[in-house]
Amino acid sequence: MRGALRGAVVGAAVLTQACAGGIMDGAPGTAGAQSAPSYGIYGTDSYFKVEWQPDERRGKPIVSGYVTNQWGLPTKNVRLRVEALDAAGQVTATYIGYVNGYVTPGSHVYFEVPVQTKEPTYRVTVLSFDPVDGHG
């Protein structure tokens, strides 16, 4: 019963955060920047560490890297937002990618996201995820 309640509470919190979305004025790291719509879960940077690099697979550009779960619960369906940035730091394109399988606490899981063109740099963030209660 206690595990089911914990799962319901976590699920409700994630759903609430996901539905809140919208414009996030005053979000950390946005001082002096224009607000932009956020359709993901706010604060995922405290749950996950994301490392990435521009790469290539069969002659086509990709962004590859690792997601590390720093949270106490396993997750699945981790969705990533990859933003291509020009030399001035402006977003030129946005891509959505997924981390395959479960991302258990402390695990370091590989991902690849295809992109259309190589850009000087990218920004990769966790957009959303599903907590999994009882996965062991």
**Mind listing the pLDDT tens digit for each residue in 91-108?**
999 999 999 999 999 999
Q: Residue 82: what pLDDT?
A: 97
Structure tokens at 14: 């994630």
The residue type found at 119 is E
Q: Residue 135: what pLDDT?
A: 57
Cβ neighbors of 93 (< 8 A, separation 6 or more) are 83, 84, 115, 116, 117, 119
| Mean pLDDT in residue range 117-126 | 94
Give the domain 40-131 fold.
Answer: Immunoglobulin-like (2.60.40)
Position with higher pLDDT, 14 vs 110? 110
pLDDT beyond 80 at 13? no
Edge-to-edge strand list for the sheet holding 121-131 = 91-99, 75-85, 121-131
Are 70 and 60 spatial neighbours (Cβ–Cβ below 8 Å)? no
Among the listed residues 69, 68, 65, 71, the one whose alpha carbon sits nearest the alpha carbon of residue 51: 65
Cβ neighbors of 58 (< 8 A, separation 6 or more) are none
d(CA 120, CA 27): 26
Structural domain boundaries in the chain: 40-131
Task: Tell me how crowded residue 88 is: count the other CB atoms within 10 A of its CB.
Answer: 7
